[in-house]
């Protein structure tokens, strides 16, 4: 394979990756904890768009439980986003003939 062809492929891949990242930044993942008491909506750029609380879970006497539920929902949503991003980005590199075990920034 000649170097010019490899450089063109790399530039094409970079453009496709940037377009995919922009697309993923618009997609959202919803994750709940506490049986639906806390819902977090996260975006494909790993930002939290919204946190919804069921009013029943707001108990001033048990703030620690609410904090735990929020942390669980946020962590679950962000993990789901990471998995979505890894899967989408992996589809861009199929057929490039990369050696097995090569880890790219999103994998």
Homologous superfamily, domain 3-93: Nucleoid-associated protein YbaB-like domain (3.30.1310.10)
Q: What's the predicted TM-score (pTM) here?
A: 0.75
Cα–Cα distance measured from residue 36 to residue 73, given in angstroms and rounded to the nearest whole number: 10
What are phi and psi for residue 56, nearest 5 degrees? -65, -25
Each residue of 34-66: pLDDT tens digit? 999 999 999 999 999 999 999 999 999 999 999
* Residues of the chain above pLDDT 70, percent: 87
Q: Which residues of 19-47 are buried (b: 16+ CB within 10 A; e: fewer)?
A: ebeeebeeeebebbbbeebbbbebbbeee
How do residues 58-76 score in pLDDT, each as one tens digit? 999 999 999 999 999 999 9
pLDDT at residue 84 tops 60: yes
């Amino acid at each position: 394979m000649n170097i010019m062809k490899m450089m063109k492929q790399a530039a094409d891949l970079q453009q496709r990756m940037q377009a995919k990242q922009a697309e993923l930044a618009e997609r959202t993942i919803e994750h709940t904890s506490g049986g639906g008491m806390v819902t977090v909506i996260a975006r494909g750029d790993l930002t939290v768009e919204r946190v919804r609380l069921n009013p029943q879970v707001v108990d001033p006497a048990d703030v620690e439980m609410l904090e735990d539920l929020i942390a669980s929902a946020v962590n679950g949503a962000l993990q789901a986003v990471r998995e979505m991003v890894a899967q989408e980005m992996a589809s861009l590199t199929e057929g490039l003939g990369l050696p097995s075990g090569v880890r790219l920034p999103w994998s």
